[in-house]
């Protein structure tokens, strides 16, 4: 893929600074807010049923994350997602831990069934479970899926009518027709909690200024991955890496994506 597309997309993101509404988990909520700011967007974290419809109406994208879910939160997600669908606002779902418990799996499937999800982003285990293939999830950690991830993700995306993102050492993005592999990132990104949640926030920011969820997802993952590469080059351990990750994301500019994005068609 030509990096000029993502150069233009990142430029648009920084110019427009869209509002990204999150209904997310309390473990990483502050990290998600800060990475959204660093990416160039504006975060709001609101899940009270009394205000979610009004809040999402002002947003450029809605990010749903079931990392610390409860029934009330899922109900708020349905309300906010329904309003987002009515107003054609992109909805991104991160089904954290789907497959670990029946409640998580059923909640993710309910959201996919009742809402028009634009982008479904998860690790191989979570996506494998939701796609109906054999996969292993323990807690919120993935132990992969059985079978060819490209084929499984592509068929699932086509069947569900969503762009599917499978995160990993190489990220996979597909809309059922196109498949893109994103090879940016660094192993240090797996040494702290929350990078998966943060990636979903960055995807939400890019999706808010794009009409192509596949390109938006690939661009977001490339940008986040480049920030991770830069951060790892100047840190000694997980905590200094985390601080540097925010700094490098904030310092990132469109030229960094033009020269450094590693996105290919398999």
Structural domains in the chain (count): 1
pLDDT, tens digit, 9 for 90 and up, residues 2-57 = 678 899 999 999 999 999 999 999 999 999 999 999 999 999 999 999 999 999 99
Secondary structure E strands in 146-216: 163-167, 171-174, 179-182
d(CA 47, CA 28) in angstroms, rounded, equals 15
Give the CATH number of the domain where residue 201 resides. Answer: 3.40.1190.20
d(CA 108, CA 93) in angstroms, rounded, equals 8
Burial class (CB within 10 angstroms; exposed 0-12, middle 13-18, buried 19+) of 103: middle
Q: What distance separates the 2 farthest-apart alpha carbons in the chain?
A: 47
pTM metric for this prediction? 0.94
Per the structure, the complete domain to which residue 86 belongs is given by 3-264
d(CA 67, CA 36) in angstroms, rounded, equals 18
SS3 of 149, please?
Answer: helix
pLDDT, tens digit, 9 for 90 and up, residues 161-217 = 999 999 999 999 999 999 999 999 999 999 999 999 999 999 999 999 999 999 999
């Amino acid at each position: 893929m030509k990096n000029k597309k993502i150069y233009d997309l990142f430029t648009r993101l920084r110019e427009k600074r869209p509002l990204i509404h999150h209904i997310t988990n309390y473990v990483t909520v502050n990290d998600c807010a800060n990475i959204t700011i660093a990416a160039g967007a504006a975060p709001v974290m609101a899940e009270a049923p009394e205000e979610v419809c009004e809040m999402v109406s002002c947003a450029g994208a809605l990010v749903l994350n079931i990392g610390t879910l409860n029934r009330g939160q899922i109900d708020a997600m349905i309300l906010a997602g329904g309003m987002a669908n009515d107003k054609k606002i992109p909805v991104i779902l991160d089904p954290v831990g789907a497959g670990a418990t029946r409640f998580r799996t059923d909640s993710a499937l309910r959201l996919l069934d009742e809402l028009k999800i634009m982008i479904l982003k998860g690790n191989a285990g979570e996506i494998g479970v939701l796609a109906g293939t054999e996969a292993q999830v323990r807690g919120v950690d993935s132990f992969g899926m059985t079978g060819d991830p490209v084929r499984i993700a592509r068929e699932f995306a086509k069947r569900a009518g969503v762009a599917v993102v499978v995160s990993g050492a190489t990220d996979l993005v597909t809309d059922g027709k196109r498949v893109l592999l994103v090879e940016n990132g660094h192993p240090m990104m797996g040494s702290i909690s929350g990078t998966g949640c943060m990636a979903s926030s960055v995807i939400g920011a890019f999706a808010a200024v794009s009409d192509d969820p596949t390109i938006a997802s690939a661009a977001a993952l490339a940008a986040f991955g480049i920030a991770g590469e830069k951060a790892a080059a100047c840190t000694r351990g997980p905590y200094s890496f985390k601080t540097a990750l925010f700094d490098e994301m904030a310092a990132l500019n469109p030229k960094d994506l033009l020269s450094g994005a590693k996105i290919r068609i398999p």
